[in-house]
Amino acid sequence: MLVAAAWLEREGRLLLARRGPGGPCAGLWEFPGGKCQQGESLGECLVRELAEELNLSARAGEELAAVEHDYGTFSISLHLLRAEAQGEPQALGCAEWRWVAPGEVASLELAPADRRLWVQLGGGRH
């Protein structure tokens, strides 16, 4: 499963979203984004997902990192793209969102694939 995620930064803080109850990784924090639809590029997917989940008008940029992760019952190919967005997020498709200082990210309970991305980026130093 191809998944796009956003590296959204404002005033030195990163936007993270918390997954809602009932699904895979429920209650865990992640870089906002989601599954690509058939024929959709990573950038198109990211723009759509940010609008659906957080009501943000966004533009996708360069890819920063990618990981393959097996959750046991499914596998994902997670791609982190730099993004710019207008507006203030609203929790439409997530439980909550938060602007987080890079030094605080490691203390959050991240979804496993997102944690691997964070480590790959050197804990945010990229």
Domains plus CATH for the chain?
Answer: 2-120 (3.90.79.10)
Q: What is the pLDDT of residue 5?
A: 98
DSSP helix/strand/coil, 89: coil
> pLDDT (tens digit, 0 to 9) for every residue of the chain, 126 residues total?
999 999 999 999 999 999 999 888 999 999 999 999 999 999 999 999 999 999 999 999 999 999 999 999 999 999 999 999 998 999 999 999 999 999 999 899 999 999 999 999 987 554
Q: Dig out the tokens for 90 from the structure.
A: 């609203």
Q: Dig out the tokens for 93 from the structure.
A: 């498709």
For 59, residues 6+ apart whose C-beta sits below 8 A from its C-beta are 47, 83, 84, 85
d(CA 56, CA 50): 5
Q: What is the pLDDT of residue 23?
A: 82
